[in-house]
Structure 1
Amino acid sequence: MACIDNPVIGFIEEDARCLHHPHDDAFMVSILIGDYNTHRVLVDNGSSTDILYYPAFQQMRIGRERLILTNAPLVEFRETRVYPLGVVTLPVTVGDYPQQITRDVTVFIVDCSFAYNAILGRLALNSWRAVTSTYHLMIKFPTEYGVGEVREDQVVAHECYIAMLEMEDHLSMMCIEEQ
């Protein structure tokens, strides 16, 4: 039997009971960033950074003076470079009491259009010792009181997908010029 400090974390078919299958949804969750319930957070195991988009940062009423400037560009999946406004370290809480954890996460503040409020990348996930499953759309992680979990809301994921398509259509239309 695994001890609380080193629980065995796994997934069973029952974990996917509330999902509509088959799916290829983006992995979207809601978490507590600072003192704010933050929805539309993309879980991205492929991202090497944790990102908070500037509109969400502004809504949190965190002063820009807390930003630590950085000149390291981030490369988007479109292969374009994005220069963050800076980085800030904020407490992030995942899970439901008592099976929850709070860790300080350093996030890059990025000012560009996106349907998400934030992206959780490998740095945060690894610091939580989290295990993710895209099939189950779930994150599991060890806590003092057993294994905590965060589930996706598929409705929110679909809303974000539609919002992204509309944004891309708008951006594509802006790039078309008459010759």
Structure 2
Amino acid sequence: MPIHGEVHTISGGFSDEGCTASQRKRYVRSVYSVAVQEEDDPLDIDLAFTRADLRDVVPHDNDLVVISVVTAGRRVHRVLVDQGSSADVMFWSTFNKLQLSPDLLRSYIGCLYGFAGDQVEVRDYLELRTTFTDGTTSHTESITYLVVNANSAYNILLGRPTLNRLRGVSCIRHMKLKMPDLSGRVIVIKFDQKEAKNCYENSLKTKRGVFMVVERPPWQRRPWR
């Protein structure tokens, strides 16, 4: 079959290392460069899913990846892990519930858009140390969250930037997210299937929900009104 062209995915946010043209060019050059990984990196370990991981899974119809994390001294539930998102997002309502100081917010010049093209208001961004734990071991990373003002059934949306930094791998069939800790052990975080179903039902009732956010290139952005 002849190939008449190519279709590329839309990406953006902090996964592209910036919003300016020079920052994007630098990112593209880094993509084509060969990186040498250190052999003694404790985070580079094999992650596998087995039949034993299915024992506690309730039969489901493609449930969403919903977990809980610890950040700002509080456990936050209803955290959606979305590999299709190019940004890590915290919703404005969650920011207020965490009782965070507005002084933590930093200016963000980019514009985020929903998958359908609707514009999402960004209230700057902030960095928070976030812990992922299975009750036995844990992994803590500083995550850059874009704070958006939009209705959502979720409190936080974690995209590719965080999964890549964690070396995390999620599996829908096994309903688990696996990642290494600093000692080389494997953290196994179970998806909350009950919470996932509740979030899905609530999202259907929400007029304006954000499940996947992308950033348009500068030449496609529309001015604020």
* Shorter-chain TM-score tier: 0.7 to 0.9
- Structure 1 stretch 74-83 or stretch 23-32: which is displaced more? 74-83
- Structure 1 stretch 35-44 or stretch 96-105: which is displaced more? 96-105
User: Which residue of 2 is the match for residue 114 of structure 1?
Assistant: 152
Number of residue-to-residue matches in the alignment: 168
1:1-179 equivalence runs, <5 A: 5-145=43-183, 146-168=185-207
Instruction: Pick closer, same or farther for the CA change 1:66–1:5 going to 2, 3 Å.
Output: closer
Please identify which structure carries the higher strand content: 1
* 1:126 Cα deviation after fit: 0.7
| Paired residue type of 2:173 | Y
* 1:119 Cα deviation after fit: 0.5
Q: TM-score, normalised by structure 1?
A: 0.87
- Structure 1 stretch 78-87 or stretch 103-112: which is displaced more? 78-87
C-alpha contact (below 8 Å) 2:43/2:167 kept by paired residues: no
Q: TM-score, normalised by structure 2?
A: 0.70
Measure, in 2, the Cα distance between the counterparts of 1:5 and 1:160.
32
3-state SS, counterpart of residue 164 of structure 1: helix
Measure, in 1, the Cα distance between the counterparts of 2:135 and 2:198.
28
* 1:98 Cα deviation after fit: 4.5
**Identical residues among aligned pairs (%):** 28
3-state SS, counterpart of residue 122 of structure 2: coil
Unmatched 5+ residue regions in structure 2?
1-40, 209-225
* 1:99 Cα deviation after fit: 2.1
Measure, in 2, the Cα distance between the counterparts of 1:79 and 1:7.
38
3-state SS, counterpart of residue 95 of structure 2: helix
Please give the per-residue CA displacement for 1:38-85, whole angstroms capped at 9, x wherever unaligned. 000000011110001111110111111211111211121222121310
* 1:15 Cα deviation after fit: 1.0
C-alpha contact (below 8 Å) 1:130/1:140 kept by paired residues: yes
C-alpha contact (below 8 Å) 2:121/2:150 kept by paired residues: no
Instruction: Pick closer, same or farther for the CA change 1:140–1:81 going to 2, 3 Å.
Output: same
3-state SS, counterpart of residue 23 of structure 1: coil
* 1:4 Cα deviation after fit: 5.4
Measure, in 1, the Cα distance between the counterparts of 2:144 and 2:200.
26
Instruction: Pick closer, same or farther for the CA change 1:154–1:61 going to 2, 3 Å.
Output: same
| Paired residue type of 2:49 | F
Q: CA RMSD in A?
A: 1.9
Instruction: Pick closer, same or farther for the CA change 1:5–1:119 going to 2, 3 Å.
Output: closer
Measure, in 2, the Cα distance between the counterparts of 1:118 and 1:8.
28
| Paired residue type of 1:150 | I
Measure, in 1, the Cα distance between the counterparts of 2:117 and 2:44.
39
3-state SS, counterpart of residue 94 of structure 1: strand
